Amino acid sequence: MKATTFHLRGASFRFSRKLWTPRILVGALVSLVVLPIFSMTSAQAHTALVTSSPVVDSSITTWPHSVVLTFGEDLAQISGQKINFLTVTNAKGDQVNSDLSTVKKNVLTSQLLANEVEGPVLVNYRIAALDGHVIEGEYTFTFGKGPEVSQSPSPVPLTHHGSNSLGIYATSTILIVIALLFGFWSYRKSKQN
């Protein structure tokens, strides 16, 4: 029985030619494509914004001292790094919060500066969850004359960015399989000549 020997970084691997039957190659190809897809399903859950103060789409007449965002899971923190932050801009587009945001478990807080400009206020945030996923989102509230809306918690639609890891894994897997098959084909061709 003929055997094939592969050399990789000083190590030699010897395989029986029977090992490389089409059935086994197809099984290996299917495994390499399907396994990463199924292993990603458990990692698809991401944290979400649970509550905010001021509340999403609310109207307030008194300017708050801070913006407080509460998420569904703890946020990642790296000493000396600013990985979780939010910016608050008034109707003129001026930033009206401190550049320094604080994180305590799953709560992101930023102190607000004085603001006399009435109108819509935009809150943008970018957080890193403990699982490593970076999530960005935004919401608005209105500052000015009119009835103040209750500050009860409300769910917020979340805008995800950077959660396309399934596509990256699938594309990488396909490219690796193609490269392996091409290498195997080239190796067999060179041995036939």
Mean pLDDT of the residues in the chain? 78
pLDDT tens-digit readout, 81-128: 888 999 999 999 999 999 888 999 999 999 999 999 999 999 999 999
Check which CATH number belongs to the domain holding 121 and give it.
2.60.40.1220
Task: Report how far residue 71's alpha carbon sits from residue 107's, in angstroms, rounded to the nearest whole number.
Answer: 6
Task: Report how far residue 184's alpha carbon sits from residue 177's, in angstroms, rounded to the nearest whole number.
Answer: 10
Residue 142 is assigned to a structural domain of this protein: yes
Q: Write down the pLDDT at residue 181.
A: 83
Counted domains in the chain? 1
Residue 162 is assigned to a structural domain of this protein: no
pLDDT tens-digit readout, 120-157: 999 999 999 888 888 899 999 999 975 444 444 444 44
Residue 114 is assigned to a structural domain of this protein: yes
Instruction: Using a pLDDT cut of 90, give the percent of the chain over it.
Output: 38
Q: Write down the pLDDT at residue 62.
A: 94
Residue 39 is assigned to a structural domain of this protein: no
String of DSSP letters for 3-50: EEEEEETTEEEEEEGGGG-HHHHHHHHHHHHHHHHHHHGGGG----EE
With 0-12 CB in 10 A as exposed, 13-18 as middle and 19+ as buried, what is 49?
Answer: buried
Average pLDDT over residues 43-47: 61
Tokens of 19: 């090992």
